[in-house]
Structure formats: structure tokens, C-alpha cells
Chains A and B, each alone.
Chain A
Amino acid sequence: MRINVTVNGRQYSSDVEPRMLLVHYLRDVLGLTGTHIGCETGVCGACTVLLNGEAVKSCMLFAVQVDGQEITTIEGISQDGQLHPVQQGFWEKHGLQCGYCTPGMILASIQLLKRNPNPTEEEIRHALVGNLCRCTGYQQIVEAVQWAAQKMRGEI
């Protein structure tokens, strides 16, 4: 099936089998390997991308379902060579070790801060329950999001 998708602001037109998962489309067809595959069963959140601005798990969608829609992946959030504030937060606060969960964590955090610019620690943890990290123990991820929230509110 022919699909037309906007990914990170760029238009793509591809021929895909209906059963191809969105995450495989992004990685294998478009070569955008920043979106990771952890579990492929909808549990880990490593494959999180934004669909029309909303966080979804790209292993739970078929590529044909995003025909005519907009996707944002980790590759698309920096602007003019400037890291996105959430990326900066993960850098500043050491919000990653191996980095496997990081693209998904960052996109889920962007979703949170869009809906709630001033989240409590509890709200941050609640917003990230769908993203698993095997390394950090989560504490520094929470601090990274708090840092990003302050930055985006112009406080640092």
C-alpha cells in the first residue's frame, strides 16, 4: 500500500505491506534508527514517538495507520543544531547510562511538559510509567525532566 507520511517535517512516500509495524518502517525503511525496539510487546516504551504531537508506542501501530499524518522521532526534536531542552536536561543531569531507553524517555517527557509545564516529581514518575530503564534507577531521569521543565519555563 502506498502511504504518505511526514516524519520530522519531511515528506515521505513509501510502498509498505499492511502488516509492517510503524517502528520497523521508521528504522528499516526510513533509516531513522534513533527509535529503539525493546520488547516489541508494548511494555517498555523504547519505541515511543509522537503521532500528531501525542506520545504513542510505534510497535503498537501499523505504518499504514499513519498515512497522511505527522510523526516526530528523536531525530527531529533538536532545532538549528540546538538540543531540545529535554535533551539538554538528560545531558546536564546524567539522565542516561546505556541510552537504550533514552529516545522513548525524551519523547514521553516532551509529551508530559506540553500538557503540564510544571509537574511535581510524582507527576513526572506517573507520566513515565510506560518507559522502562534498566540502568539509571530513574532518579536522574526525574531530575532531567525537572531541569527541562525549569528551562522551558525560562527559569534557567
Chain B
Amino acid sequence: MFPAPFEYYAPKTLQEALSLLAQHGENAKVLAGGQSLVPLMKLRLSTPAVIIDLNGIAELRYIREEGNYVAIGAMARHYDLETSDLLKRLCPILPECASHIGDVQVRNRGTIGGSLAHADPAADYPAAVLACEGEIKVVDTDGKERVIKATDFFVDLFTTALQPNEIITEIRIPAFAPKTGSAYLKMEQLASGYALCGVAAIVSLDDSVIQDVRVGITGVAPKAYRATGVENALKGQAFNPKTIEQASELAADGINPLEDIHADAEYRAHLAKVLTKRALLKAIERAKV
């Protein structure tokens, strides 16, 4: 399997990468970890004339605390997130989510920036980044930066708010409030490891009252979404398993689930409800300790 021929550039700085992108415009494709793009190129579903490889740009690979959020460089690998003590302390749902992606080889190489830019409807991160109310920082070829809320970032199947002249540089994840628990649960398609349904739940408790609750769901719809129906039904309620169960019934409300050979729409909607319930219960259990 050979991709179509292309020109290859390996910039060492973000600045260099942006000039290359300015120069080659729509003919160029930015390569991050390559765990989705390289297979697409081999199948010739993607045939870019120019590849700008970001793997040599050390300044884009970091995880650090900045004020009340954790800043994650776009080229941080899934393995970096999975093993980050900082994230485990401040936003533990991200390491949990990262540990579910693909396999060890994919996690050694794949990056959070690449995964978000690709916006596969069955990718794991979007659920967690939505539930965290994360933000995505991008920069364009003129050096202009903007910060996009996760809810505005995912537009449709494989489509994001990222413009062709922009590169993702950073993902910002707010630190959890006290007494907050989270869980990421997934039913995966066994051969590929992709989510038939993945649910990220974050719950903040005050005594046994649910102060705040956020649920992100991937794999079910053309793009990952927040289950706002579930959230609204639970906010301000006293915790009890029955309430959780009833609220979780709303997990696929207003959604037109995807359908393919692995799972039909009804099954995906069912998974969304069941996994939402379980993820909420687990998050609450963790919030209590």
C-alpha cells in the first residue's frame, strides 16, 4: 500500500510550520501523530501534495498548570496524557480517557491535537473535552490566535471549526472543583478499539446534592455532544440512584444516532443511556471520597 506521492517538510518550530502552511495553502496537510492520516493516505482517501510534519516541534509537546487550567500542547501524545500526574490530580478524566484509546503503539504516537482536529465521530477525547468544558487554542498563518470552546469546535462528522490556515497549538482543561468525581466508560468495537459509545461524566457534589453535572457522549452521533437533557434533570437534585437512572434515559434525546454494520441506531441509543447511568454512578462514587 503506497500513498500518492507528496512533498515532505519537517519544521522544527511552530513559526516554520506556519510559514510552510502559508506557502502551500490548501495543497498541504498537517501531520501530527499520523494514526488516522497515514492510513487514510494509504487508502488514497486523502492525497495531499504536501505534508507538514509537526513531530519535530518540541515546543508543542507539554502538559503544564496555568492558573486554573491545565494547558496541554497539541503534540502531547496519548501516552503523555495517560501517565500525567498533573492531569491525574487536576482533571483525572483525561488520563482515564486516554488509556482507552487504541492500543499501546497508537498511544505512543497519537496526539491530542491530531485526534481533535480529525474529529472522528467515534474518537474518545471529544467526549471528555466536552464534559470538561475545555477550550482549543489555534493559530493561523498570520500568527493570529483564537480560543474555541469545545462545544463550538466540533461541527459535524470529521468537521471542526478549525480553518485550513490554522493549526491547533494547545488544549485547555479547567481544573476540577473540589468534591468532583468523573468517569469515562466505553463500549468499543473490538477490532478497531473505536467507541460504539463512550460516555464522559463529571459530577460535583455538595453533601449529597448534585451541584454540577456534565456529560459528554461520543460514538453515537455524527459528532460528540453534551447530553444537556440529562444534565438539566440532575442539577440541584439530591443524589439517589433512581433519579440517575431516570435522567440517563434522556442521554440520546434529540439525537439521530449513527448506524453501521457494528451497531444500529437503536443499540447505540441504548448504549448511551446505560453507559451514562453507569458513568454517573461511578463519578458520584468517586466524588464522595
Instruction: List chain A positions with a Cβ less than 8 A from chain B.
Output: 1, 17-21, 40-43, 45, 48, 54-57, 60-62, 64-65, 67, 108, 111-112, 127, 129-131
Contact = CB atoms under 8 A, between A and B. Distances in A.
A40 B3 CA distance: 12
A129 B193 contact: yes
Given A18-B5, A19-B2, A55-B108, A129 B103 contact: yes
B5 A19 contact: yes
Contact of A60 (B5, B38, B55): B38
Nearest to A112: B104
A62 B39 CA distance: 11
Interface residues of B, number: 29
Interface of B: 1-8, 10, 34-35, 38-39, 41-42, 51, 53, 55, 79, 102-106, 108-109, 191-193
B194 to A, nearest CB: 11
Which of B3, B7, B38: most chain A Cβ within 10 A? Answer: B38
Contacts of B104: 55, 108, 111-112, 127, 129-130
Contact of A40 (B1, B7, B35): B1
B10 A64 contact: yes
B4 A108 contact: no
A42 B5 contact: no
Nearest to A50: B108
B105 A18 contact: no
Nearest to B41: A19
A-B pairs, top 3 by smallest CB distance, nearest first, are A130-B103, A18-B8, A54-B108
B111 to A, nearest CB: 13
Given A20-B2, A21-B42, A60-B35, 11 more contacts: A18-B5, A18-B51, A19-B5, A45-B103, A45-B105, A54-B79, A55-B104, A61-B109, A64-B8, A129-B104, A130-B102
A144 to B, nearest CB: 17
